[in-house]
Amino acid sequence: MAKFVLAGRADCPFYAKAEVLADYLQKNLPDFQIFKITQHPHVWEIVSGGNCSLASFIPRFNHPSGCGVQLCSSMSFSSPGLEWTATFLSFFIPSSTVSHGCSGTSVSFHEWLKDLCEKNKWNHEDSPIIWRELLDRGGKGLLLGGYNEFLEHAQLYYGVTSSMTTELMKVIAQENLGSHIEKELEKEALKSLIDPLQVWITSASAPACYNLIPILTSGEVFGMRTDISITLFDNKQAEEHLNILAMETWDLVSPILRSVSVCTRVEEAFLHAHVVIILDHPTDGEVYTLEDCLRSRVPMCRLYGYLIQKNAHDSVRVLVGGKTFVNLKAALLMRYAPNIAHNIIAVALGVEGEAKAALARKLKTTPSCIKDVIIWGNISGNSYVDLRKAKIYRYESAIWGPPHFSRPVLSLIFDSEWVNKDFVATIKQLNTTGKQFGGILAAHSIATTLKYWYHGSPPEEIVSLGVLSEGQFGIPEGLVFSMPVKFENGTWVVLTDLEDIEISEEIMTRMTSDLIQEKLVALGDLIHFQPYQSENRSAETDEKTTLPTTDDNQENQRVSDGSEGKTVEQ
């Protein structure tokens, strides 16, 4: 059995002539097999550089699990004798050079190529290069040389020669080049279909990341048909912790997890990212004042914004989660990454979940039975919990109905004192201390928001989300403001058609004033943060006011001033 390897430039006339001759021999001689490898002319020149560079001939083979081992790039190859390809590769590639696992690490062939050339004493400069395999009896391959040497071999052993004209050689060479380019384009198209979704998590040493990873790898967020690759990004000091977390993530044996890697190099951050999740980041050193804390967010957001816009995918989706200055961080990222500002959102479902849980405890039901609680304003600061659209399902009372039957939450809470004081105080305490907004709640709210973004939110359900205002509901333009939305068709839509959700001027002014000041202080345009003071605020003695009596169509409203730890009820 004679087995030959023919490799060369796709547009090389001599490669074309050798290929036609080899095809003729293979067709007419049952014991003759040819394995062909073509490269784009530019790749040949760059990789081979006129020297024997067999590394440029090694293709990319994929593990049955779908994890590829990159052996070379820009290849196309065909052979009716592919059954011996694996044997061929096992002979020419030492086992120590192949990377196991799916970490995405490229295989280096510099040392291997040097050893191979020295071992075989090969020296070849031109296209094509042809050698014979001696796998049947063992031993190194036999280098024939170029086209002339292959023609002499065919004449001597098989009595076959070639009389192809130069013009025909050039025509076939151009056809080979066109065919090679088509195959490469097809390969890229197929690759785009099977490439995993690149998910980057910043501040990955935070507790929220530990709770977020199992949800992402469960298939619940992106679906079981979407493979993902997770990159954990943090500073160099956290590298050891990230490596342990990466190993633990790989141990989950998730069917959709293609790879998990660690990145601590800033210049490599967010490469080809499809999803970027921004978690709470600890400030460098102690921060003594609110103003210092606000300003400390700018360098990080400026860096992240630049790198995301530079390195990430054009349609990257950015979620800002956590419990500290969520609106501000989203606004700063939009400022420093203007090209993707429309795809940057602030996660508000955590605060929404806290409000639903407090209502559920009062009504002795489960939080999942309560829907359409709206969070307005500053997610991690001066926000307003709106219960006017809130509904409760499957509530045990004198009135029962089918699963889709609901009742207004406010019609079931007869204790106005609890709504006006206890409920407000509970939410205010949770927001100002952040005690219950830990890793589990932050992770779940981020994952749920991401799931809605990709697959849509439940029909007819209101979702709270921090987005860039365009003047809806009287909110000043350019502020990142939490408001009611729905997710559909891979995007979000603000629910401007909701009725009876007008917000009083004083409450709106209070929320927008703090958001505007946060941004001005962070950017250095304002020295001191001055919480908004209403005209009647100065007359307060116990930091509280009493809610006026409302009719059936109105509802108690609540504002939590996170910056001062005070609560205003109106």
Tell me which residue of 277, 317, 297, 299 sits closest to 492, measured CA to CA.
317
Lowest mean pLDDT among 7-11, 258-262, 467-471: 7-11
Paired with 75 in beta bridges are 39
Q: Which residue did the predictor score with more confidence, 82 or 250?
A: 250
The encoded tokens of residue 39 equal: 């490269």
Task: Name the average pLDDT for the chain.
Answer: 78
Asked if pLDDT for residue 353 goes beyond 80, the answer is yes
How far apart, in Å, are the Cα atoms of 250 and each of 71, 213, 348? 24, 10, 30
pTM of the predicted structure, to 2 decimals? 0.64
Taking each helix axis as running N to C, give the angle between helix 424-433 and helix 349-363, from 0 to 180 degrees, rounded to the nearest 10. Answer: 140
Whether 139 and 132 have beta carbons less than 8 Å apart is answered as no
Lowest mean pLDDT among 139-153, 315-329, 443-457: 139-153
Query: What percentage of the chain exceeds 70 in pLDDT?
Result: 75
Paired with 199 in beta bridges are 230, 275
Where is mean pLDDT largest: 335-344, 404-413, 503-512?
335-344
Element spanning 155, H or E? helix 147-158
pLDDT band (50, 70, 90) for residue 133: confident
222 dihedral zone (left: phi>0; alpha: psi -120 to 50; beta): alpha
Looking at residue 95, its pLDDT comes to: 35
User: What pLDDT, in 10s, does the model give residues 428-447?
Assistant: 777 664 455 678 999 999 99
Whether 381 and 566 have beta carbons less than 8 Å apart is answered as no
Asked if pLDDT for residue 231 goes beyond 70, the answer is yes
Paired with 466 in beta bridges are 346, 482
Residues 178, 18: Cα–Cα separation, whole Å? 18
Tell me which residue of 56, 87, 89 sits closest to 74, measured CA to CA.
56
Largest CA distance in the chain: 110
Whether 390 and 408 have beta carbons less than 8 Å apart is answered as yes
Lowest mean pLDDT among 55-69, 331-345, 445-459: 55-69
Asked if pLDDT for residue 108 goes beyond 80, the answer is no
3-state secondary structure of 58: coil
Looking at residue 228, its pLDDT comes to: 95
Asked if pLDDT for residue 189 goes beyond 80, the answer is no
Dihedral of CA atoms 543, 548, 550, 554 in degrees, nearest 10, equals -40
Residues 548, 188: Cα–Cα separation, whole Å? 65
Asked if pLDDT for residue 193 goes beyond 90, the answer is no
Looking at residue 372, its pLDDT comes to: 95
Counting Cβ atoms within 10 Å, is residue 404 exposed (0-12), middle (13-18) or buried (19+)? exposed
Identity at 557, one-letter amino acid code: Q
Element spanning 491, H or E? strand 491-494
Average of per-residue pLDDT across 361-384: 91
Residues 54, 70: Cα–Cα separation, whole Å? 15
Looking at residue 568, its pLDDT comes to: 30
The encoded tokens of residue 1 equal: 């059995």
User: What pLDDT, in 10s, does the model give residues 158-180?
Assistant: 888 888 888 888 888 888 888 88
Looking at residue 282, its pLDDT comes to: 66
Tell me which residue of 215, 289, 243, 261 sits closest to 445, measured CA to CA.
215
Whether 39 and 72 have beta carbons less than 8 Å apart is answered as no
In degrees, rounded to 5, the angle at the alpha carbon of residue 114 between the alpha carbons of residues 113 and 117 is 80
How far apart, in Å, are the Cα atoms of 380 and each of 89, 323, 400, 439, 553? 58, 5, 37, 15, 28
Asked if pLDDT for residue 302 goes beyond 60, the answer is yes
pLDDT band (50, 70, 90) for residue 186: confident
Where is mean pLDDT largest: 64-68, 88-92, 106-110, 292-296?
292-296
How far apart, in Å, are the Cα atoms of 74 and each of 52, 184, 185, 263? 18, 7, 10, 27
Paired with 233 in beta bridges are 263
Q: Return the DSSP state at 195.
A: P
Residues 36, 16: Cα–Cα separation, whole Å? 11
User: What pLDDT, in 10s, does the model give residues 4-57?
Assistant: 888 778 888 888 888 888 888 888 888 888 888 777 775 544 444 444 333 333
Looking at residue 196, its pLDDT comes to: 92
Whether 297 and 332 have beta carbons less than 8 Å apart is answered as yes
User: What pLDDT, in 10s, does the model give residues 503-551?
Assistant: 888 889 988 998 999 999 999 998 888 877 665 544 443 333 222 223 3
**The residue to which tokens 């508000």 are assigned:** 348
Taking each helix axis as running N to C, give the angle between helix 207-216 and helix 439-455, from 0 to 180 degrees, rounded to the nearest 10. Answer: 40
Q: Return the DSSP state at 121.
A: T
Tell me which residue of 336, 205, 215, 353 sits closest to 282, measured CA to CA.
205
Residues 476, 110: Cα–Cα separation, whole Å? 60
User: What pLDDT, in 10s, does the model give residues 477-506?
Assistant: 999 999 999 999 899 999 999 988 888 888
Q: Is the dihedral of CA 313, 317, 320, 326 positive or negative?
A: positive
In degrees, rounded to 5, the angle at the alpha carbon of residue 451 between the alpha carbons of residues 450 and 452 is 90
Residues 236, 225: Cα–Cα separation, whole Å? 34
Lowest mean pLDDT among 43-52, 223-232, 407-416, 424-433: 43-52
The encoded tokens of residue 30 equal: 């049952």
